[in-house]
């Protein structure tokens, strides 16, 4: 069976989800083709097909367009089928030719499943799977469902009409998709992010016993509004005012505007000696820093699931996170970590102080609960089997 995976760029070394999925499929006898806009030269896992250029020098663009359409003559049956599908839905000739060009890299290949790694990737390619005789799947991530539809009303209506199966990283996102008019008759499968078993062996995960006067907190978060680092920094300010000697590490990058905003906020709150911005680290360095923290903090306004929180639990960290979205499926409140009402720094600070004041035995219990739940429910080996079932069912 051939799986065509449509993603914006080939995954880098540190992007574990798609790399792990591809490796798992190959190991289980599938063939994988990645359709993408950007190719990382280091990616060697499977065949990669790049999408046609859409900008640049006008003459070169015209020349490339001619090359693309000549190449498609070898796949004329699929092109004609695609043309008829679009014509039947009322597309103009110009719109049809545009879509043929933009999807030419897929139309010229044979796959059994065409799987869009992000729901937004399927917009403009909703009818391609039928044209090439493949089944169509889409994956839900937080941005796809929580953010993009806010600006683009009814953006997925054509996607819903053509999709054969949905993969989501949480039940929460599926429920939100129903609110966006996904039909409940469409088969769905929840396959969450997962942890490489090696994480438990490589990184120390013992819960350190720390006194109230010394505390290291860590967050893995893009410098983006939805991660709500404003609440995180205000939480750190409250803790500092209560006399706690605190170090807060933020792993993640963003555009210069967002970075400047948070640097300014740190200065205004008087936290220059308490907050460290690490920008983007590779995966191993990120796990190493998280493993040395006392508390992992996630103050997001929303999350589809949040792999970073799952990894922190795998490392036995005491996790405090917002009670939103897929985080409510990620953490079992009071058993593997704690959930707090979002945008309430005073509540986050209170919960963190409550956690610090737990006995060593209580801390160890939460830490062990978190690690055990990850080992029982969120391992890569299980994820790989679920994707095999996804395509075979």
- The whole-angstrom separation of Cα 247 and Cα 167 is 38
Same domain, 310 and 335: yes
321: which strand partners?
Answer: 298, 339
Give the CATH number for residue 124.
Answer: 3.40.50.2000
Return d(Cα 260, Cα 239) in angstroms, integer. 23
- For 58, counting Cβ atoms within 10 Å of its Cβ (0-12 exposed, 13-18 middle, 19+ buried), the class is exposed
Q: With b meaning 16 or more CB within 10 Å and e meaning fewer, what string describes 236-251?
A: bbbbbeeebebbbbbb
Residues 227 and 160 in one domain: no
**Which is nearest to 293 in space by CA: 198, 353, 210?**
210
Residues 240 and 285 in one domain: yes
**Judgement on whether residues 250 and 116 belong to the same structural domain of the protein:** no
- The predicted structure's pLDDT at residue 199: 72
pLDDT at 211: 45
Domain-embedded: residue 387? yes
94 belongs to a structural domain: no
β-pairing verdict for 275-279 and 295-298: unpaired
- H helix intervals, the chain: 16-27, 58-71, 76-88, 93-102, 104-107, 119-122, 128-131, 142, 148-151, 157-162, 171-179, 199-202, 229-241, 256-268, 283-291, 307-314, 327-330, 345-356, 360-377, 380-392
Per-residue b/e over 332-359, b at no fewer than 16 CB within 10 Å? beeebbbbbebebbebbbbbbeebbeee
Contact 335, 325 (CB under 8 A): no
> For the chain, what is the mean pLDDT?
92
Cα gap 17→387, rounded to integer Å: 12
* DSSP element (H, E) containing 295: strand 295-298
Give the pLDDT confidence score for residue 66 in this predicted structure: 82
Q: Are residues 118 and 218 in the same domain?
A: no
What is the token pair recorded at 156? 């997925």
Name the stretches of the chain with pLDDT < 50: 209-212
Q: What is the pLDDT of residue 14?
A: 55
Q: How many folded domains does the chain comprise?
A: 2
Q: Are residues 151 and 32 in the same domain?
A: yes
Domain assignment of residue 64, yes or no: no
Quick: pLDDT tens for 305-315. 999 999 999 99
Co-location of 278 and 157 in the same domain: no
Q: Is the CB of residue 147 less than 8 Å from the CB of residue 42?
A: no
Range of the domain at 129: 2-50+110-194+380-392
DSSP track, 299-358: --S--S--HHHHHHHHTT-EEEEES-TTHHHHS-BTTTBEEE-TT-HHHHHHHHHHHHTS
**Residues 385 and 363 reside in one and the same domain:** no
Please give the Cα distance from 81 to 132 (Å, whole number): 8
Would the pTM count as exceeding 0.75? yes
What per-residue confidence (pLDDT) applies to 12? 73
Residue 326 inside a domain? The answer is: yes
**What pLDDT is attached to residue 149?**
96
For 97, other C-beta atoms within 10 Å of its C-beta total 15
Residue 82, domain member (yes or no): no
């Amino acid at each position: 069976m051939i799986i065509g995976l449509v993603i914006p760029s080939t995954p880098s070394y540190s992007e574990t989800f798609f790399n792990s999925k591809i490796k798992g499929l190959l190991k289980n006898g599938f063939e994988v083709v990645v359709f993408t806009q950007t190719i990382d030269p280091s990616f060697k896992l499977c065949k990669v097909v790049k999408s046609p250029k859409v900008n640049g020098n006008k003459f070169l663009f015209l020349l490339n367009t001619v090359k693309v359409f000549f190449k498609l003559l070898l796949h004329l049956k699929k092109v004609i089928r695609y043309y008829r599908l679009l014509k039947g839905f009322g597309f103009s000739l110009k719109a049809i030719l545009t879509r043929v060009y933009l999807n030419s890299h897929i139309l010229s290949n044979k796959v059994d499943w065409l799987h869009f790694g992000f729901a937004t990737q399927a917009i403009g390619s909703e009818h391609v799977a039928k044209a090439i005789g493949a089944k169509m799947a889409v994956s839900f991530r937080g941005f796809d469902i929580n953010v993009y539809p806010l600006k683009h009303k009814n953006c997925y209506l054509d996607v819903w009409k053509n999709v054969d199966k949905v993969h989501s990283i949480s039940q929460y996102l599926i429920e939100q998709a129903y609110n966006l008019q996904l039909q409940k008759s469409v088969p769905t499968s929840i396959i969450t992010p997962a942890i490489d078993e090696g994480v438990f062996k490589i990184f120390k995960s013992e819960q350190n016993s720390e006194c109230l006067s010394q505390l290291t907190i860590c967050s893995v978060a893009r410098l983006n509004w939805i991660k709500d680092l404003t609440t995180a920094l205000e939480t750190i300010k409250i803790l500092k005012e209560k006399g706690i000697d605190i170090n807060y590490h933020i792993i993640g990058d963003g555009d210069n505007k967002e970075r400047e905003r948070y640097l300014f906020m740190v200065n205004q709150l008087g936290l220059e000696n308490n907050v460290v911005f690490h920008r983007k680290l590779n995966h191993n360095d990120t796990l190493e820093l998280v493993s040395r923290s006392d508390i992992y903090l996630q103050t997001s306004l929303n999350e589809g699931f949040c792999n970073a929180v799952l990894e922190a639990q795998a490392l036995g960290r005491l996790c405090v996170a917002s009670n939103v979205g897929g985080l409510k499926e990620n953490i079992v409140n009071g058993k593997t970590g704690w959930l707090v009402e979002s945008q309430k720094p005073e509540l986050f600070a209170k919960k963190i102080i409550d956690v610090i004041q737990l006995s060593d035995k209580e801390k160890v219990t939460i830490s062990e609960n978190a690690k055990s739940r990850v080992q029982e429910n969120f391992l890569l080996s299980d994820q790989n089997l679920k994707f095999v079932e996804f395509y075979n069912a």
